[in-house]
Amino acid sequence: MVRINNLEFQNDNANCGKPCRTEKRSFISFVRETIEINLPNDLSYLNYVTSFLVERTVRFGIAHAETFEINLALDEAITNAIKHGNKEDASKSVYVRAEISVREARFIIRDQGGGFDPAKVPDPRVTINRFKPSGRGILLMRNLMDEVTMIKYPGEVAAESCKAA
């Protein structure tokens, strides 16, 4: 038996003397996939992007096919970027970055808007705000993901969210 980087190679007589490989850890545990999408500021692409990203998280075991949390959080973040950040301006775009591994899926959604203060968004759980049309998307994202951060850059805003395995 030979051991190389936590992999064992051994001669298996049941396999006609051909060496076989027994992995101590799954190969996928060493993989981290990065996906970058420069999305036109158009809601018609939304379902394609969210479905694609959720499928990648399912492949890595972060989500299950029937899980909707990541899909809904991404839908809200991208919709907010298109509608509120970029004000539905077709000349602007939304940058989507996903970093996916077996441990976590981290998403960054950037728009080209002027930014906002998340602390000033009305909390829809407070009685006086229940019928206001804003704040629910951020509340949903924060409750569906393990971590959500709003970051303001010059000329753009990023919503970074993370879901751990």
d(CA 165, CA 163): 7
pLDDT at 35: 97
Residue of higher predicted confidence among 79 and 27: 79
pLDDT at 156: 60
SS3 108: strand
How much is the average pLDDT of 47-69?
89
Q: In percent, how much of the chain has pLDDT > 90?
A: 44
What superfamily does domain 31-164 belong to in CATH? Answer: Histidine kinase-like ATPase, C-terminal domain (3.30.565.10)
pLDDT per position as a tens digit, 18-44: 444 444 457 788 899 999 999 999 999
pLDDT at 155: 57
d(CA 65, CA 62): 10
pLDDT at 66: 66
d(CA 68, CA 89): 29
Domain ranges of the chain: 1-26, 31-164
d(CA 107, CA 76): 12
pLDDT reading at 154 higher than 70 = no
d(CA 54, CA 44): 17
pLDDT at 99: 93
SS3 114: coil
pLDDT at 92: 96
> Out of 14-18, 63-67, 104-108, 152-156, which region has the weakest mean confidence (pLDDT)?
14-18
Averaged pLDDT score across all residues of the chain: 82
pLDDT reading at 159 higher than 80 = no
Tally of CB atoms within 10 A around 83: 15
pLDDT at 16: 44
> Out of 84-93, 140-149, 150-159, which region has the weakest mean confidence (pLDDT)?
150-159
The pTM for the full model equals: 0.78
d(CA 71, CA 161): 12
pLDDT at 25: 53
